[in-house]
Amino acid sequence: MDAWKIELGKKALEAGIMKDPQWLDRLDEPMPLWVLLELAFMLIEKLDPPTVSYD
């Protein structure tokens, strides 16, 4: 496996995007759609968090 893929996987673990370190051995496997959707919603929440009233 390429070193850049392993480094990217380690960054994903540190950031909490990937929760299982065993995925570092399977970075070339296809990703299920639900994983991609979960990541997309995490990004949406971070970039545009729901507004909260301070009243």
- Total residue length of the chain: 55
Check whether 49 has a pLDDT greater than 80. Answer: no
Over residues 10-18, the mean pLDDT reads 90
Q: What is the pLDDT of residue 55?
A: 63
What's at 7, amino acid-wise?
E
44's tokens = 């949406």
Residues 6+ apart with CB under 8 A from 23: 9
Q: What is the pLDDT of residue 46?
A: 87
Q: Pick the more confident residue, 53 or 21.
A: 21
pLDDT band at 13 (very low <50, low <70, confident <90, very high): very high
23's tokens = 């995925």
**pLDDT tens digits for range 18-36:** 889 998 999 999 989 998 8
